[in-house]
């Protein structure tokens, strides 16, 4: 050790080792006690189960997210290190890329999903939310996941992308594979990948220019190839990013918001009293539930982080959900408070890789919650909520509710 | 430390003491100022920390970058020649006394 100049106290030996598996079913069922253990153990921990470093406090998660030169994405944002293993699919040109390559592709998606574009789609998204509430008011009792959290994004996002009507049933299963694949080689990941070929085939086909309706987000990405911003072979892979990350995430975001508002009736009442809180009610649900729970980075060099030395080529697991409830950063972190100042939460990440579709998510969340709160007096949970298990996403499989019209 | 004055749409002004190494947006949110949302947390993605810079200060600020220019086209309130995103203005001692007007709305 001394010969190489590395002090014996550095590396995994100097940080607390924890014997927790943040990808097993018991953890998914109730991650909060483990999140607290991870935060309290130290600013940087080591997880022996998967031989990775972990950060669960807000400050360190934020620091790792905002130092992409040291904590890179091009070696994969899951456990698998693309330098050592062949990725299960061709890597994403944006999520699994570093500057300068990332800068170019990121600019394209930022433009396609910009605040200006959101102004153009807002009325359409709001009208679809009203239609969904019409249908729910007819039903009175329904599953808030299938009939609301899934049905609403499915009624707008594939059309906004410009997808053909046929085959859309592959979209949510495909996204589920993508997010399971960031996890370790456990049963969830292995089974998801084993069953993925029909979904992959569908997605690869829909990303082609001829299959995307003019005027949609997909066509806009291909138009960027004409403008020279990307190549014609890159365009389909960037469309794939929207297919991977644009639907299941908002399903879980809207599901989280409805689950919160159904569990905390006093917050529902506050929203009903002031509909301008709808957007923040959604944002606070993203902080509180963190639909995307974790992402990995890989170190490009030896680095010191809050006193811990991490060697080159190490995987670092960021617990976004734990950071979003770190008492060092948030007052009463375990309360869902729709008037909270949510700015700075890492539910959408932070830094250069921060969710490029965040404006779409917020728009969907805002117009859906506005429509619900304006026309529904009460939401009552009428059966045991069932959890959906995924290595990265947190959400429900089923949430039986009964609503009372306003 | 430099201080900034924010003028709300109703004409009331609010004085914010800043600390070094932060943006105008960060100073405003730390202070709990209403009228700056900063949904993206300062990543130049959302255009919800829009401000109108007092004319006398405009020339003293660093130029608008390409990202910021594109985002300003998407602000909820009208974009004016003195529109800026406050997350893109880093506070320096020279900005002591900066006056910023808040728009009617951020979303």
How many domains, chain B?
1
Long-range CB contact pairs, A268-272, < 8 A, 24+? A268/A373, A268/A378, A268/A379, A270/A338, A270/A339, A271/A338, A271/A369, A271/A373, A272/A373, A272/A374, A272/A377, A272/A406
* Kind and range of the H or E run holding A33: helix A32-41
Answer yes or no: is B107 within a domain.
no
Residue A8 has pLDDT above 80, yes or no: no
Q: What percentage of chain A carries pLDDT values higher than 70? A: 97
B48 near B39, Cβ under 8 Å? Answer: yes
- The arithmetic mean of pLDDT across residues B47-72, rounded, is 95
* Kind and range of the H or E run holding A189: helix A187-194
Q: What is the pLDDT of residues A279-336, one digit of tens each?
A: 999 999 999 999 999 999 999 999 999 999 999 999 999 999 999 999 999 999 999 9
The number of CA neighbours under 13 Å toward the Cβ of B50 is: 25
Is the four-CA dihedral B30, B36, B39, B44 of positive or negative sign?
A: negative
- Of A252, A251, A250, A272, the residue nearest A261 (C-alpha): A272
**Average pLDDT, whole number, for chain A?**
96
Residue A5 has pLDDT above 80, yes or no: no
Residue A300 burial (CB count, 10 A): 17
Domain that includes residue B85, residue range? 3-101
pLDDT score for A230: 97
- The arithmetic mean of pLDDT across residues A96-107, rounded, is 97
Query: Cβ contacts (< 8 Å) between B74 and chain A: which residues?
Result: 114-119
A192 near A248, Cβ under 8 Å? Answer: no
Answer yes or no: is B23 within a domain.
yes
A17 in reach of chain B (CB within 8 A): no
Q: What is the pLDDT of residues A73-94, one digit of tens each?
A: 999 999 999 999 999 999 999 9
- The arithmetic mean of pLDDT across residues A46-51, rounded, is 98
Answer yes or no: is B106 within a domain.
no
Asked if the bond preceding A100 is cis, omega within 30° of 0, the reply is: yes
The number of CA neighbours under 13 Å toward the Cβ of B23 is: 19
A280: nearest CA partner in chain B: B39
Q: What is the pLDDT of residues A373-389, one digit of tens each?
A: 999 999 999 999 999 99
CA dist A256 and A2 (Å) reads 51
A99 in reach of chain B (CB within 8 A): no
CA dist A308 and A4 (Å) reads 18
Buried b (16+ CB within 10 A) or exposed e, A5-20: eeeeebbbebbeebeb
ipTM value? 0.92
- The arithmetic mean of pLDDT across residues B31-50, rounded, is 95
Token pair 């923040």 in the structure block, residue? A280
Tell me the nearest-neighbour CA distance from B86 into chain A, angstroms.
14
pLDDT score for A12: 72
CA dist A38 and A27 (Å) reads 12
B37: nearest CA partner in chain A: A343
Q: What percentage of chain A carries pLDDT values higher than 90? A: 97
Q: What percentage of chain B carries pLDDT values higher than 90? A: 93
pLDDT score for B54: 97
| Chain A residues 355-394 with a CB less than 8 Å from chain B | 356, 358-359, 362, 366
CA dist A216 and A126 (Å) reads 17
pLDDT score for B49: 97
Answer yes or no: is B18 within a domain.
yes
Listed in sequence order, the residues at least 6 apart from A370 whose beta carbon sits closer than 8 Å to its beta carbon are A126, A129, A275, A278
pLDDT score for A11: 57
pLDDT score for A6: 38
Domain A11-405 = CATH 1.10.630.10: yes
**A284 token code pair:** 């606070």
Burial of A231 (0-12, 13-18, 19+ CB in 10 A): exposed
Q: Which positions in chain B have a beta carbon within 8 angstroms of at least one beta carbon in chain A?
A: 29, 32, 37-43, 45-47, 67, 70-71, 73-75, 107
CA dist A343 and B41 (Å) reads 5
Residue A4 has pLDDT above 80, yes or no: no
Q: What is the pLDDT of residues A244-281, one digit of tens each?
A: 999 999 999 999 999 999 999 999 999 999 999 999 99
Residue B21 has pLDDT above 90, yes or no: no
pLDDT score for B1: 83
Indicate the residue of B38, B42, B74 with minimum beta-carbon distance to A118: B74
Tell me the nearest-neighbour CA distance from A294 into chain B, angstroms.
18
- Contact: B45, A366; criterion CB under 8 Å: no
| Chain A residues 342-361 with a CB less than 8 Å from chain B | 342-345, 348, 350-352, 354, 356, 358-359
A115: nearest CA partner in chain B: B74
- Contact: B71, A115; criterion CB under 8 Å: yes
- The arithmetic mean of pLDDT across residues B44-54, rounded, is 96
Q: At what angle do helices A171-181 and A151-161 cross, to 10 degrees?
A: 90
Tell me the nearest-neighbour CA distance from A200 into chain B, angstroms.
30
CA dist A218 and A226 (Å) reads 13
By three-state DSSP, how is residue A390 classified?
Answer: coil
- Of A229, A251, A180, A184, the residue nearest A399 (C-alpha): A251
All structural domains of chain A with their residue ranges = 11-405
Answer yes or no: is B52 within a domain.
yes
Select the more confidently predicted residue: A344 or A13.
A344
A366: nearest CA partner in chain B: B107
Token pair 């709808």 in the structure block, residue? A278
Query: Cβ contacts (< 8 Å) between A358 and chain B: which residues?
Result: 39-40, 45-46
Q: What is the pLDDT of residues A129-159, one digit of tens each?
A: 999 999 999 999 999 999 999 999 999 999 9
CA dist A133 and A122 (Å) reads 17
Query: Which CATH number characterizes residue B77's domain?
Result: 3.10.20.30
How far from A98 is each of A72, A292, A404, CA to CA, in Å? Answer: 6, 21, 50
- The arithmetic mean of pLDDT across residues A209-228, rounded, is 97
| Strand pairing report for A386-388 and A52-55 | unpaired
A152 near A254, Cβ under 8 Å? Answer: yes
How far from B9 is each of A77, A134, A336, B76, CA to CA, in Å? Answer: 44, 37, 30, 14
Give the number of beta-carbon pairs within 8 Å between A and B. 53
A142 near A148, Cβ under 8 Å? Answer: yes
- Tell me the Ramachandran region of residue A162: left when phi exceeds 0, alpha when psi lies from -120 to 50, beta otherwise: left
Residue A15 has pLDDT above 60, yes or no: yes
The distance of Cα A8 from the centroid of its chain, to the nearest Å, equals: 38
pLDDT band at A7 (very low <50, low <70, confident <90, very high): very low
Token pair 């998510």 in the structure block, residue? A361
Q: Say how many residues make up chain A.
A: 406
Backbone phi, then psi, for A2, in 5-degree steps? -65, -30
- The arithmetic mean of pLDDT across residues A42-59, rounded, is 98
> E-assigned strands of B1-107?
3-7, 13-17, 50-53, 83-85, 98-101
Residue B30 has pLDDT above 60, yes or no: yes
């Amino acid at each position: 050790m001394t010969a190489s100049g590395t002090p014996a106290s550095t590396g995994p030996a100097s940080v607390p080792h924890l014997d927790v598996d943040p990808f097993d079913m018991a953890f998914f069922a109730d991650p909060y006690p483990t999140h607290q253990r991870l935060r309290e153990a130290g600013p940087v921990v080591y997880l022996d189960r998967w031989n990775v470093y972990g950060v669960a406090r807000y400050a360190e998660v934020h620091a790792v997210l905002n130092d992409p030169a040291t904590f890179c994405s091009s070696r994969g944002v899951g456990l698998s290190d693309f330098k050592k293993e062949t990725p299960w699919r061709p890597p994403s040109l944006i999520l699994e890329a570093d500057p300068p390559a990332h800068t170019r592709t990121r600019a394209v998606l930022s433009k396609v999903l910009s605040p200006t574009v959101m102004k153009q789609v807002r009325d359409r998204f709001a009208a679809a939310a009203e239609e969904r509430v019409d249908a729910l008011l007819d039903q009175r009792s329904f599953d808030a996941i299938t009939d609301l959290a899934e049905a609403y994004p499915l009624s707008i996002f594939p059309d906004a992308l410009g997808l053909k009507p046929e085959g859309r049933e592959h979209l949510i299963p495909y996204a589920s594979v993508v997010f399971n694949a960031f996890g370790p080689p456990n049963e969830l990941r292995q089974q998801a990948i084993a069953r993925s070929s029909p979904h992959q085939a569908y997605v690869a086909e829909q990303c082609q220019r001829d299959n995307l309706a003019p005027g949609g987000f997909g066509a806009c990405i291909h138009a960027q190839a004409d403008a020279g911003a990307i190549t014609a072979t890159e365009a389909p892979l960037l469309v794939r990013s929207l297919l991977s990350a644009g639907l299941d995430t908002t399903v879980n975001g809207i599901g989280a918001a409805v689950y919160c508002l159904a569990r905390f009736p006093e917050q529902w009442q506050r929203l009903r009293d002031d509909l301008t809180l709808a957007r923040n009610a959604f944002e606070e649900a993203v902080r509180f539930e963190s639909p995307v729970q974790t992402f990995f980075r890989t170190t490009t060099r030896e680095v010191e982080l809050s006193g811990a030395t991490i060697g080159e080529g190490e995987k670092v697991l960021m617990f976004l959900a734990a950071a979003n409830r770190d008492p060092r950063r948030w007052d009463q972190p375990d309360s869902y408070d729709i008037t909270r100042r949510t700015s700075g939460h890492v539910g959408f990440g932070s830094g250069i890789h921060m969710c490029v579709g965040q404006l779409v998510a917020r728009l969907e969340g805002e117009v859906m919650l506005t429509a619900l709160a304006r026309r529904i007096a009460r939401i009552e949970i009428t059966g045991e909520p069932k959890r959906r298990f995924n290595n990265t996403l947190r959400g429900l499989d089923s949430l039986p509710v009964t609503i009372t019209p306003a | 430390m430099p201080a900034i004055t924010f003028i709300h749409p109703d004409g009331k002004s609010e004085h914010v003491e800043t600390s070094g190494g932060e943006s105008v947006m960060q100073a405003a949110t730390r202070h709990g100022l209403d009228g700056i949302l900063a949904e993206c947390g300062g990543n130049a993605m959302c255009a919800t920390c829009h401000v109108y810079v007092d004319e006398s200060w405009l020339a003293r600020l660093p130029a608008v970058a390409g990202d910021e220019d594109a985002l300003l086209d998407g602000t909820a309130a009208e974009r004016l020649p003195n529109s800026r995103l406050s997350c893109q203005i880093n506070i320096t001692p020279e900005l002591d006394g900066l006056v910023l007007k808040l728009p009617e709305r951020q979303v």
